[in-house]
Structures are given as structure tokens and as C-alpha cells.
Amino acid sequence: MLEALGLTARAGQVYQAMLARPDDDIDAISAHCRISPGDVHDSLDELGALLLVRASAEHPGRMRAVDPSIGLADMVARQEADLAARQAALAASRAAVTRMVADRAEHRASHGERLLGMDAIQHRLDQMGRAATHEVLSSQPGVQRPEDLDAARPADAEALTRGIAIRTLYQDSNRHHPHAAHYAHWLLGHGGEVRTAPTIPQRVVIVDRSQALVPIDPDETRKGALHVTEPGILNALLDLYEQAWNTAVPLGATTPDDPTTGLTSTERELLRLLGTGLTDDTAGQRLGISARTVGRHMASIMERLGASSRFEAGIKAAQKGWL
């Protein structure tokens, strides 16, 4: 019972024995508690340091227990004073950390911040996720890497548990990759929203419409990122994101063929990209599909158009209003 106050079990046993049997000497206490006289002496040293025993005025050379209403009350008061001091030290430490974070935030706001390397990017994403109070919007081009999805899961789970709204844009190609589709359905099942489209804006994460992370080089997003807080840039990013979101298809819904042309959304976007002069490789990268898949789509389109070449297919598609 007295262990909660910092006493060892043996010292507590000796203290209670001295209270119950105030006339006992060392040997009697030793016999009563079934411990050695040396253990009794060690316990008396411990009790003396806590001011729970004092020298007896009636029996010189012996100790007497201080009444619990005084000794234990004083002990609790000392512990309360120690706790108050620790709380004051903790408050001072917290204030120092807050000042340091504010100073760093002010420095970043005045000088801008480029984050180089995946470790720096992931650290900032973790900070942004923890700071989120309302929503997290993200656009994730290409087929998602399993290791990136695994790294994102704890932060997404924590945010969803706190009631943060998560909206994520993926490319249609992710629907055909099991690890990406599984993660997207996991997000959906835990309260997130997921939509896909043939092409989506560059990679971006926007938190609470007040800060965003965008790649320094859209073609090599793992090299570094730029942390954005300027309202003008944020509004432009949000407008672009909302346009893409409103035209994307919710996960779980099908993407029906165009009733007029019979084209899927991916095929229509592929025709548009190739019509601008892009190669199969480049168009495939924009759509998150391989050049071989681009070739299969084009073969199917040419067959439906009755075209023997891509040039002829382009002409006939334009004549039919497919472009």
C-alpha cells in the first residue's frame, strides 16, 4: 500500500510494525516481520530519510514511528511540491520547443524551403499530416509503388481516426495493379474518398488548404519537393485539383464507354495525347501505362475505325469528332 508513496515493501512493513508495536526493539521487530536485524536497520535508514521515524525521547538509542497523519501527510506534501516543480520544468521545456518551432516556421516562411531527398520529403509529409485539422487532398500520378503505399498507411490511418477528410486522386491504371487497388479500397473502407482518371495533375499534397507540397521536378519526384504556403499559389493548386476531382470517377464505379464513340476514357485521352505528337512512351507515361498497352489500345481503335495505319486512324477519328 505504501509503495505508491515511494517506500519499499520491506520498509513499509517495518513502519507498520512500529506503529502497531511501539515498544518493540530491533530484535522484536525482526522476529515479527520475519526479516533479519540488518534488514530492519536498512529499513530504519530508509524511513529516517523520509522523516517517517525519529529518535525516541523515552528510550534513548531507539527509534519511534511518526504518526501517519503527520509523517505521511508531510511526505505527500513534499511529493506534491516535487511534482509541481517538474510540471513547471515541463511547461518551460514545452514553451522552449514552441518558440523553436515558431522560429523555424518564421525562417521557412521568409526564406522559402526546398526539401531534398525522400527522407526530408517524408518527414515533412508526417509533419503536415499531424498538423491537419480538416482535410488532406492529394494527387498521385503513375502506378503507386508498394513501399510508398506501406509508408503512407500509418499516417493515413492516424488522420482518418482523427476524423480528417482524405481525398485522393489516382490514375485509372492503378485499378489494374493489385497492390494499388487494394490500398485504394482500404482508404475507401476507412472513410476516405478515392477517384481515378486517365490523366491527373502533377503530384501534390494539400493540407487544410493552407499548405502544400509539390515536386521540384515533376519528372523525378523523388529528388525533392517545395513546401508552399503562399495563398496565390495555393488557390491555383486547389482550382486545378478540384477541376480534376470533379471529372474523375469514384472508386468502385465503372467507367462506361462513350455511347457515341464506344471509346473508354483512357482511349479517348490516348487519342488526344497522340494527336498532339507525343510518342507511345510519353503518352503511356502520362496515362500510367506501358508502351505495349498503348499499342494494344491503338490496335483496337484502328480496328473499330477500319484504319490500316495510325495516320489514317487519326484522320478518321477527327472526321468522326472523336478528337
| pLDDT single digits (tens) 66-115 | 777 776 777 777 777 777 777 777 777 767 766 665 566 555 544 457 88
Report the SS3 class of residue 259: coil
**Residue keyed to cell 487519342:** 271
Q: How far is CA 11 from CA 73, 81, 215, 246, in A?
A: 17, 23, 64, 72
- What per-residue confidence (pLDDT) applies to 103? 62
- Alpha-carbon gap, residue 223 to 83, rounded angstroms: 48
- What per-residue confidence (pLDDT) applies to 207? 92
Nearest partner of 196 among 217, 175, 182, 212, judged by Cα: 175
Q: Is the pLDDT of residue 235 over 70?
A: yes
- What per-residue confidence (pLDDT) applies to 246? 83
Q: Is the pLDDT of residue 46 over 90?
A: no
Report the SS3 class of residue 63: strand
Q: What is the DSSP string of 142-190?
A: SPPPHHHHHHHHHHHHHHHHTT-EEEEEEEGGGGGSHHHHHHHHHHHHT
pTM of the shown model: 0.50
Q: Residue 268 is inside which H or E element, if any?
A: helix 265-275
Q: Is the pLDDT of residue 254 over 50?
A: no
- What per-residue confidence (pLDDT) applies to 135? 92
Domains and CATH numbers, the chain: 2-66 (1.10.10.10), 113-250 (3.30.870.10), 265-319 (1.10.10.10)
Residue type, 173: S
The count of C-alpha atoms lying within 13 angstroms of the C-alpha of 80, restricted to the half-sphere facing its C-beta, is 6
- What per-residue confidence (pLDDT) applies to 223? 81
Report the SS3 class of residue 71: helix
Residue 208 exposed, middle or buried by CB count within 10 Å (0-12, 13-18, 19+): middle
210: which residues sit within 8 A by CB, 6+ positions away?
A: 229, 234
- Alpha-carbon gap, residue 278 to 288, rounded angstroms: 14
- What per-residue confidence (pLDDT) applies to 183? 86
